[in-house]
């Protein structure tokens, strides 16, 4: 869910001019060099450093207008994060030298505009300069989130710099990481590169607090459900161990009577419990891995009211499955711990077993 969200738009880390996140105006854009972007790209764990310009303008076609987000993108690097080229539903993707735009399908529907038409953009550029342009529509893009799908206009970053009179400036540089858990290390490296420049990195948790709350709520509910499942599994295992001990008292009584040491009998029963648990875990993995592999290759696409909930957080309404080995061996360890704890009952029963009484029963 987290990777889905950060790859949808924000990236794991963004670099801004200090104060931009609190006041997102074009005058708070940052000055950059290609060397600086290359240094960010070279940080260990960073998959791509993507330059961006994000600012508002009034989009107009014929008699209709709508406030829109002009999204200046590096046409090659942006594919690492948002994958805009894969979301095109009509027309073609942009080239870096194009003086054209892509518009979201919701905005196109509202303005009643199509591929080949020209859209007017009116806004305010750097230090109060006028920002006015007439751009042909090269393609239509469908974003999963309704907010983004109703207002985004994409253009090459160089054209956005010309439109807003930004020269060699950007509003942000988005960093996509190989793994989400590398965020803190990357933030430290970014701060080292920035030095005394008036720049500030911000992580995805600060950029998307609503998503963080949603993830924490999901973790909490998942932990409670997992505990319930462990309790159910524990009682099932305890019932098996209980019956295994009760039905074999006569056998245990005879073995102790003919001279078998209790410690050796306890060890034998303990190994039997572990083997039963291991057999159950292996069987469960073999049965489930095929089902999980199918859904890993074929994610579940939601088609209910949950679609609106997912899209409101900027997440595609898709339930994806994971094939990480950790998921399997972590549960195996959990079952092992439960089996060890429950094994104390039959071991204690053997310690207290009275052979004559056990054989009579």
Q: For all residues of the chain together, what is the average pLDDT? A: 87
| Confidence at 79, pLDDT banded by 50, 70, 90 | confident
- Residue 301 burial (CB < 10 Å; 0-12/13-18/19+)? exposed
- Domain residues for the domain of 35 are 2-207
Domain count, the chain: 2
Q: What is the mean pLDDT of residues 161-173?
A: 92
Q: Which residue has the tokens 């074009």?
A: 26
Per-residue model confidence (pLDDT) at position 59: 95
Show the tokens assigned to 7.
């790859």
Contact 30, 199 (CB under 8 A): yes
Per-residue model confidence (pLDDT) at position 314: 59
pLDDT of 138 higher than 90:
yes
Is 219 in the same domain as 202?
Answer: no
Q: What is the mean pLDDT of residues 83-88?
A: 84
Q: What is the mean pLDDT of residues 165-183?
A: 88
The residue from 186, 207, 228 where one domain ends is: 207
Is 119 in the same domain as 47?
Answer: yes
Per-residue model confidence (pLDDT) at position 72: 92
Per-residue model confidence (pLDDT) at position 159: 94
Is 159 in the same domain as 304?
Answer: no
Cα–chain center distance at 300: 16
* Closest-CA residue to 1 (of 275, 215, 312): 215
- Among positive and negative, which fits the CA dihedral 138, 144, 149, 155? negative
| Confidence at 235, pLDDT banded by 50, 70, 90 | very high
Contact 131, 122 (CB under 8 A): yes
pLDDT 10s digits, 281-317: 888 888 888 899 999 888 888 776 777 776 666 566 7
User: pTM for the whole thing?
Assistant: 0.69
Show the tokens assigned to 36.
């600086």
The residue from 172, 189, 207 where one domain ends is: 207
For residue 303, give every residue at least 6 positions away whose Cβ sits within 8 Å of its Cβ, in sequence order, or none.
Answer: none
Per-residue model confidence (pLDDT) at position 56: 93
Per-residue model confidence (pLDDT) at position 228: 93
Is 245 in the same domain as 343?
Answer: yes
Is 152 in the same domain as 134?
Answer: yes
Q: What is the mean pLDDT of residues 250-263?
A: 88
Per-residue model confidence (pLDDT) at position 148: 79
For residue 280, give every residue at least 6 positions away whose Cβ sits within 8 Å of its Cβ, in sequence order, or none.
Answer: 335
For residue 339, give every residue at least 6 positions away whose Cβ sits within 8 Å of its Cβ, in sequence order, or none.
Answer: 237, 273, 274, 276, 277
Contact 59, 153 (CB under 8 A): yes
Is 149 in the same domain as 202?
Answer: yes
pLDDT 10s digits, 3-60: 666 766 778 899 999 888 888 889 999 998 889 999 999 999 888 898 999 999 999 9
* Closest-CA residue to 137 (of 95, 91, 97, 106): 91
The DSSP symbol for 21 reads T
The residue from 174, 207, 240 where one domain ends is: 207
> What is the rounded CA–CA span in Å between residue 139 and residue 2?
29
> What is the rounded CA–CA span in Å between residue 32 and residue 202?
17
Is 73 in the same domain as 13?
Answer: yes
Q: Helices 262-297 and 325-342 meet at what angle, rounded to 10? A: 150
| Confidence at 146, pLDDT banded by 50, 70, 90 | confident
* Closest-CA residue to 317 (of 73, 52, 8, 93): 8
pLDDT of 177 higher than 90:
no
- Residue 174 burial (CB < 10 Å; 0-12/13-18/19+)? buried
Number of helices (H) and strands (E) in the chain: give both, helices first: 14, 14
| Confidence at 70, pLDDT banded by 50, 70, 90 | very high
């Amino acid at each position: 869910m987290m990777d889905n969200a950060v790859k949808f738009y924000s990236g794991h880390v963004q670099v801004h001019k200090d104060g931009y996140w609190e006041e997102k105006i074009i005058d708070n854009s940052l000055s950059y060099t290609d060397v600086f972007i290359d240094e960010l790209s070279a940080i260990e764990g960073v998959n791509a450093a993507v330059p961006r310009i994000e600012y508002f303008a009034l989009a107009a076609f014929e008699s209709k207008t709508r406030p829109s987000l002009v999204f200046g993108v590096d046409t090659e690097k942006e594919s690492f994060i948002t994958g805009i080229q894969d979301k095109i539903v009509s027309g073609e993707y942009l080239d870096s030298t194009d003086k054209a735009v892509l518009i979201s399908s919701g905005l196109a529907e509202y303005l009643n505009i199509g591929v080949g038409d020209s859209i007017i953009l009116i806004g305010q550029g750097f230090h109060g300069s006028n920002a006015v342009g007439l751009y042909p529509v090269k393609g239509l893009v469908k974003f999963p989130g309704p907010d983004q799908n109703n207002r985004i206009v994409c253009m090459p970053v160089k054209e956005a710099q010309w439109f807003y009179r930004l020269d060699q400036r950007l509003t942000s540089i988005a960093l996509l990481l190989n793994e989400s858990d590398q965020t803190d290390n990357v933030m430290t490296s970014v701060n080292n590169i920035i030095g005394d420049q008036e720049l500030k990195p911000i992580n995805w948790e600060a950029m998307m607090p609503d998503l963080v709350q949603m993830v924490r709520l999901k973790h909490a509910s998942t932990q409670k459900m997992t505990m319930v499942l462990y309790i159910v599994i524990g009682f099932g295992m305890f019932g098996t161990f209980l019956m295994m001990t009760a039905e074999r008292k006569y056998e245990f009584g005879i073995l102790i009577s003919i001279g078998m040491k209790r410690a050796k009998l306890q060890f034998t029963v303990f190994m039997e419990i572990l083997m039963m648990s291991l057999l159950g875990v292996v069987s469960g993995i073999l049965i489930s891995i095929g089902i999980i592999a199918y859904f890993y290759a074929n994610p579940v696409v939601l088609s209910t009211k949950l679609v609106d909930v997912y899209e409101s957080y900027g997440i595609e309404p898709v339930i994806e499955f994971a094939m990480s080995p950790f998921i399997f061996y972590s549960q195996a360890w959990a079952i092992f711990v439960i089996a060890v704890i429950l094994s104390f009952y039959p071991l204690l029963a053997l310690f207290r077993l009275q052979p004559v009484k056990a054989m009579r029963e």
